[in-house]
Structure formats: C-alpha cells, structure tokens
Amino acid sequence: MSVPGHLLFVGLPGSGKTTYLAALWHVLDDGSSATSLKLTKLSGDRTYLSQITKEWRECSQVPRTNLQTEQVVVLHLDGAGFGPFDLAVPDLSGEAFEQQLTDRRMSLHHNEFVQQSTGVMLFVHPDVRHGAQLTQAAQLEEAIGGAQVRDDVSAATVTPWSIEKMPTQVKLVELLQFLLDRTPRKLRVAVVISAWDLVETHGPPHEFLSSQLPLLRQFLVANDDLVEHAVFGVSAQGGDITVEEKKQALLELDDALMRIRVRQGDEVGKDITMPIAWLLGAK
C-alpha cells in the first residue's frame, strides 16, 4: 500500500517553482536517469505538466503559476529505502504567498495544504540584489541630500512603504513563520536555490545562503528545534535562456536531461529528485 504524503512548494514570484516541476516531470516521465525516486504512475490530468514541460524542453520561459492556474499534481513514486509513496505537490502561485505578506492571512485551501504537508521546498532565486537592504536608512540619507537632520526632516521626499520594499530574506522568513504557526510538527525544509548555474562558482549552496541571505540562514539555524533544513543548488534549465547564445547551446545538447545540475554540500550530480528524497527522510 502506498503511503500518502504532501510536499508544499513555497516561493515568491519568479523563484523557480514551476520550472523545477517541469524538469522534474520530464525526468520522471523519461525514466532513464539515475534518480533516488522513480515514477510508477500519475494521477489526474497531465495536460498542465505536458504544457510546462514542453516549454522547458524548448528553453522557453516556463509560464508562472498564477492564482487562476494553481495545480495539484499527485505523483506515485517508489525508491530504495522509501517504498511506494503517493506524493501530492501543489504548484501554488508566488502571488498567493505575496498576498499572505500583504494581507497577513492565508487562504483556507493554502492552510489545508500546510496542515497536510510532510515537507516544504522553499525556492529562492539567486538574484536577490533588489532585496538586500534591511532598512530605508540609505534612501532617507539620499533624500535629505546628506544635510544635517533638522526639525523639518519629515519634509524629505521618502516614498511610502510597500510590500515591494520588503527585503527578500525578510519575506521568506515571514512565510516560514506562517507555516510554523500552522504546523503541529517539526518542519522539514529543503531550501532550493534555483538557477544555480548563475552562482555555482560561489561555493556550496549553504555558503551562498549564508553570504547572500544571512537573516534567512540564521533563522533556520536558530530555530533548529522547530525546523530541520538542508540547502540545495538546482539548475533546472542549465543556463540563462535569456541569452540567445547560451539558449542555443542548451538546445543543441543531445538530451535535455544533460542540462540539469544539482548540488548539496560537496555532492554534485543530476538527480533532480534529491531534495524530495531528503524531505522523505534520505540522509
């Protein structure tokens, strides 16, 4: 008998959730790669998976999931040490997570996914430069032109706060706290740094996380009684498809499977199921 399980894909818009799912389905459906988990069957309509995987194979921009196209994929998997496993993976939109941050509440069906989840994949795109600042101090200093602070400093032109001004790592910590408030058990989190090919020269994924998103890393380490985590670097596309030369090089590969690269610590390979296997209990 298959053991049911639910993974929750969490990430802001453009963080790579749908691209990962497209590459994952291609690998599992193809079945020729050496992976920790193998597909036995798929439940439900595969139209959505076929669409996003076609875009992935053609090195086209995989369409982001929006609130109207959220999908739940049920994969029937098997693997050494795991046995049969029914895995429900909701592909929830990044906009829905941003809505949580803005409205300070979670929809009922998202809350249901959280309650049922056996693990969380937290997707982080490596381009976090626009969310680096922790305060508006630099903006205020620029606004007053370096002049001495006076009683009328409030007259300085400072744009009102909006969700877009919240640093990326603060948003991700907030999303994790939403989950912790609603999860009755210790949360197992696989942090997936997507588009890993852009930053793979920075060293292991956990070092990149520590240097670029220190607040997120500190939150995960400091709350080890509530969260067990591992960090993975995943290049699902294999390169920057917005650069025509790199896109053509990817299309010329004999097998699209060759584009995938996955790293955890010093271990580097092509097993895109590695983060999922870790969430299911692999060491």
Q: Which residue has the higher pLDDT, 160 or 197?
A: 197
CB 262 within 8 A of CB 272: yes
Average pLDDT over residues 166-183: 85
| Domain limits, the chain | 3-132+167-279
- Residue 127 pLDDT > 90, yes or no? no
Contacts 24+ apart (CB under 8 A), 41-44: 41/76, 42/73, 42/74, 42/75, 42/76, 43/74, 43/76, 43/86, 44/72, 44/73, 44/74
- Residue 131 pLDDT > 50, yes or no? no
Closest CA to 264 of 281, 280, 283: 283
pLDDT band at 130 (very low <50, low <70, confident <90, very high): very low
Indicate the helix (H) or strand (E) that contains 138.
Answer: helix 137-143
The pLDDT value given to residue 264: 96
pTM of the predicted model over 0.85: no
The pLDDT value given to residue 70: 56
CA distances from 168 to 175, 181, 235 (A): 11, 20, 20
If phi > 0 it is left, if psi is from -120 to 50 it is alpha, else beta; for residue 83 that is: left
Question: Both tokens of residue 163?
Answer: 């969700």
CB 233 within 8 A of CB 171: no
Neighbouring CB atoms inside 10 A of 23's CB total: 26
Question: Both tokens of residue 117?
Answer: 């989840």
Helices 214-222 and 168-182, packing angle to 10 deg: 20
Q: Tokens 């930053």 — which residue?
A: 199
Question: Both tokens of residue 160?
Answer: 């009102």
What percent of the chain shows pLDDT beyond 90?
34
CA distances from 208 to 76, 119, 143, 203 (A): 33, 22, 32, 7
CATH of 3-132+167-279, picked from 2.40.30.10, 3.10.310.10, 3.40.640.10, 3.40.50.300, is 3.40.50.300
